[in-house]
Amino acid sequence: MSTRQLAMVMDLNKCIGCQTCTVSCKTQWTNRDGREYMYWNNVETKPGKGYPARWEEMGGGFDETGALRDGEVPSKYTDYGVPWDYNLDDIMRGEALEAQQKLKQGPNWDEDQGAGDHPNSYLFYLPRICNHCSNPGCLAACPRGAIFKRDQDGIVLVDQKRCEGLRYCIAGCPYKKVYFNPKRFKSEKCIFCFPRIEKGLPPACAQQCVGRIRFVGFLDDVDSQVHKLVHKYKVALPLHQEYGTQPNVFYVPPLPGPPKFDKNGKPIEGSERIPVSYLEELFGPETKNALKTLQAEMDKRKKTGKSELMDLLIAYKHEEMFRIETPRPKPQVAHGGDGLVQIVKRKVPA
Amino acid sequence: MIGAILVVAAAVSSPDPGVAAYLSAEGIEVAKVAKVPKRADDRAWSHAAVHEVLAHPQRTMRLPDKTANAHLLRAPTPVQVRALHDGTSLSVKLTWPDDTETRPVADAASFGDAAAMELPVTFGRGVRLPYIGMGDAGQNVLVYLLRTAKDGSYGREYTGAGFGSLTRTNVGGFYGDITYSPAQKMWQAVFVRRLTSHGHTIARGAVPVAFAVWNGALHERGGNKALTSWKTLHLQGLNDDAAYLKELSFGYGEGEYGDPAAGKAMVESMCIACHHVGDKALVPAELAPSLQSVGGIATYRYLYDSITNPNQILVPNPNKNRHHQVGGPQDPYGALPHNPGFSWSVDMGGGKTNSKMPPFALPKEQVLNMVAYLKPRPEK
């Protein structure tokens, strides 16, 4: 659908859940004008309901016949959470800290809960932005053809002039990464920081990532880190590829972690703390091979001191995580489907 | 009561029994008054005939909202229509039941109740009606939308040339309001349009019109709505052009309405090869426009022409990206092509587009039987 495709790879083994990405995105784009409740970038704890709560059960995406599936539109009261404040003035007078409303839901509501019982509990962090899919569910769902993929980099955008706030895109996106701005009555979403991309800079979330987990580049650029991780080593996998939208954000799955403990507190050799079956639910059947490659390259590095993959993932220099040639921005109009959009000229009888 | 008398009066004055029958069933008598009312509770409405129309859930194309689609099989909404004109403006009042007054709050999952009135951009003798769903490429429509807000309401004007094409416009001369009566659990919407505005005129005796209402509590918005078929506003004192009325009333004249029982077998053996008909489905949804509620939203003329000459009115294809060709050639980033099986028309080259449906060269009587089965009388 696009001539080129920008992609992001996130190495989940390095994500510490610090939310610096979330904050950098929020201060850049979503702290104002009806976007206060939105998190174009969020970091959720897996296993967990995520943000918006139970997004994985809300439908959208495509079924096995290639048809768009029905989906739900989340609510801020039950799924996103209503932004709240604390009684910060009162605590200066010795009162206990309290939220100014009854809290029912919020972003990262189930932070650090994970799954499993002590001492074998487990969790990992999953940062999520718009996947800028090759077959976007949002684009397919929009009855007005207001959503388009930029030809020069595959960034998926909502044409704010065509958008009428109908929110079918939110139903159609299986990742629930399109948001409704009630103040502007428009749908809005992660724009992959395209104004930064056009200046050769990575998105704010990637630039600010203290764990250096995010790689950004073009998938057809064989020298890019994203190409090597996705296509050469095949250690970076799309999230829920069964949704049928061909995401362009890829994840290096977390290694299953330290062994589990038996009743006597002894490590069980060869056991997986994070069940690989769970990782496969998220990252698909290639997960096993990816984990095998990661382990083999770690071993190789230990023995020989050499591994291109390990060097890549360590990311000695932050700027080397990004390869963004400055694409020439071309003005473009929404195309959402052959001949779907016709700007109707006013036609009145003579 | 007054309405019935007026309708009868109109029927008696009309020389053509087909036209009279049509106006009685699908015409909205528009009496002339000194000044048209702008408010739903204006006393002037007592001069207006009451005509009930049915608004059917839109099922021709499917939108991907699980919550809204759970209500697609509900019964049509009865909408009372009253209309008056004063020689300068037309005022149309809609009244319909809704148990909940749903106004949008600042939340993604909140949708407000709404109503709309559709008019053809051009109409008159020899001009076919636009496709009911937002018009078509050949015949555009004007749509007046009244949306509820947190407090009050607001109006919007659009032009349309098919699904997804609505574009804001400003023909002007429009005023509207929508109010809820909690006691009666009814919405009332008033649309006031100058008979002539910016060169667009509806100052004629016979003006095609259609209506839609949205129930926000069911997550209805956009294409998830209940709509009527084209009806005719019959404006008192203006030239109603007998020949045009005769055209509009197709289906009500002598020998223009067939035998629904005889049409059933044909529809269920032929149309069902591509369309969903009633509750019967042999093919995947949207291989062709669904006929599940077509009788409620189409005219007899449209159904007749669609069978005998489908290229005459092309139902605009909704967003083709909704159907991927699984196993088709992918681009380097995995993008799949559209599934051509779900395109409703074929590009013939040279700017010509044909309907995928072949013309059916059947005897007139058989076509009329099929049409009667698709749109039985009385409407239900």
pLDDT digits (tens, 9 = 90+) for B161-190: 999 999 999 988 899 999 999 999 999 999
CA distance readout (Å), A181 to A140, A184, B154: 20, 6, 18
Structure tokens at B101: 């007054």
Report A:253-292 residues touching B (Cβ under 8 A): none
- Cα gap B97→B346, rounded to integer Å: 42
Q: Do B319 and A336 touch (CB under 8 A)?
A: yes
In this predicted structure, the answer to whether residue B5 has a pLDDT above a threshold of 70 is: no
- Cα gap A339→B63, rounded to integer Å: 18
Mutual angle of helices B2-13 and B17-26, in 10-degree steps: 160
Of B93, B122, B98, which Cα lies nearest the Cα of B111? Answer: B98
Q: Do A64 and B198 touch (CB under 8 A)?
A: no
CA distance A196 to chain B (A): 23
pLDDT at A59: 98
Choose among B121, B222, B339: nearest Cβ to A166. B222
pLDDT at A346: 34
Lowest-pLDDT choice from A45-54, A62-71, B4-13, B62-71: B4-13
CA-nearest residue of chain B to A174? B64
Choose among B108, B165, B335: nearest Cβ to A344. B165
Burial (CB count within 10 angstroms: exposed 0-12, middle 13-18, buried 19+), residue B358: exposed
CA distance A294 to chain B (A): 24
Choose among A144, A220, A348: nearest Cβ to B164. A144
Q: What confidence tier does B13 reach under pLDDT thresholds 50, 70, 90?
A: low
Structure tokens at B350: 């040279």
In this predicted structure, the answer to whether residue B3 has a pLDDT above a threshold of 90 is: no
Lowest-pLDDT choice from B4-13, B204-213, B292-301, B359-368: B4-13
CA distance B202 to chain A (A): 11
Question: How large is the average pLDDT for residues B17-34?
Answer: 96
Choose among B67, B69, B339: nearest Cβ to A66. B339
Q: What confidence tier does B215 reach under pLDDT thresholds 50, 70, 90?
A: very high
Report A:228-257 residues touching B (Cβ under 8 A): 244, 246, 248
Say if A57 is an interface residue toward chain B (CB within 8 Å). no
Report A:298-327 residues touching B (Cβ under 8 A): none
Specify whether the CB–CB gap between B205 and B238 falls below 8 A: yes
SS3 labels along A163-180 = CCCCCHHHHHCCCCCEEE
* More confident of the two residues B281 and B107: B107
Lowest-pLDDT choice from A69-73, B113-117, B338-342: B338-342
Q: Do A168 and B332 touch (CB under 8 A)?
A: no
Report B:53-92 residues touching A (Cβ under 8 A): 63-67, 69
Q: Which residues of A touch B107 (CB under 8 A)?
A: 75-77, 180, 182
CA-nearest residue of chain A to B343? A338
DSSP state of B35: S
Share of chain B above pLDDT 70, in %: 96
Of A77, A69, A4, A103, which Cα lies nearest the Cα of A243? Answer: A69
CA distance B367 to chain A (A): 31
A157 strand-pairing partners: A148
Which residue in the block uniquely carries the two structure tokens 């009587």? B365
Q: Do A143 and B63 touch (CB under 8 A)?
A: yes
Residues whose CB is less than 8 angstroms from the CB of residue B362 and which lie 6 or more positions away in sequence, other chains included: B307, B308
Q: What confidence tier does B132 reach under pLDDT thresholds 50, 70, 90?
A: very high
Burial (CB count within 10 angstroms: exposed 0-12, middle 13-18, buried 19+), residue B315: buried
pLDDT at B281: 86
Question: How large is the average pLDDT for residues B303-314?
Answer: 94
pTM for this predicted structure: 0.92
Choose among B161, B324, B338: nearest Cβ to A62. B324
pLDDT at A260: 94
CA distance readout (Å), A172 to A74, A154, A178, B134: 12, 18, 9, 22
Q: What confidence tier does B314 reach under pLDDT thresholds 50, 70, 90?
A: confident
CA-nearest residue of chain B to A221? B332
pLDDT < 70 positions in chain A: 326-350
B29 strand-pairing partners: B234
Q: Do B331 and A1 touch (CB under 8 A)?
A: yes
pLDDT at A257: 84
